Amino acid sequence: MTDIAKPLARYSPWRRAGDFLLLSGVIAVDPARKLIVRGFADLPPEASTAAGETGEFSVDARDGPVLAQSWFVLDRIRGTLEAAGGRMDQVVRLVQYFKDLDHFPRYSRVRNTFFPGEPPASTVVQVSGMLPTEDILIEVEATAYVPLLSKD
């Protein structure tokens, strides 16, 4: 399911500035499928397990939306970086926006699977809302250091 983040409006999913790749904020929306990720059912089965699905309805109903959105957003960031010639281990900074900061511990567990080594510098912010609907719980933007190859 790795794929480049697709903008919902007229902006670039990423831009290069010298040796840096700057990614626009990514939310859990798949415009190609006209889908807002609302839970584990919106992810491929292998991704649901990776995102933290337990199989216990009461746990998955409560944690599923933020865990599924976390996995989807970080996977889209990975796909966008790879399409631009980068890797997740080159991410040096994340800015993470949450509708509810109580979601951060669950997001953090998923984030750690995408950044098993040294984690990027991070900023975490609570906001009152995000586009396009109130179902969006998180948005993440990334900056990666991806040196241009010298042309000797």
Position 45 confidence tier, pLDDT thresholds 50, 70, 90: confident
For the domain with range 14-145, which CATH number is right: 1.10.3080.10, 3.40.50.300, 2.60.120.260, 3.30.1330.40? 3.30.1330.40
Chain position carrying tokens 């976390």: 70
Instruction: Specify whether the backbone of 18 is left (phi greater than 0), alpha (psi in -120 to 50) or beta.
Output: left
Report CA torsion sign: 12, 14, 16, 20: positive
Q: What are phi and psi of 145, to 5 degrees?
A: -95, 110
Q: pLDDT at residue 152 above 70?
A: no
Indicate the average pLDDT of the chain.
91
Q: pLDDT at residue 2 above 60?
A: no
Which residues make Cβ contacts (< 8 Å) with residue 146, sequence separation at least 6? 16, 19, 20, 21, 81, 84, 85, 86, 87, 90
Q: What does the pLDDT average to over 42-66?
A: 93
Tell me the β-bridge partners of 142. 94
Q: What tokens appear for 112 in the block?
A: 């750690």
Q: Give residue-wise pLDDT tens across range 96-110.
A: 999 999 999 999 999
Q: How many CB atoms lie within 10 A of CB 113?
A: 13
Whole-angstrom Cα distance, residue 43 to residue 49?
A: 9
Whole-angstrom Cα distance, residue 96 to residue 75?
A: 15
Position 9 confidence tier, pLDDT thresholds 50, 70, 90: low
pTM: 0.91
Which residues make Cβ contacts (< 8 Å) with residue 52, sequence separation at least 6? 63, 67, 71, 106, 109, 110
User: Which percentage of the chain shows pLDDT scores above 70?
Assistant: 91
Q: What tokens appear for 142 in the block?
A: 């990334």
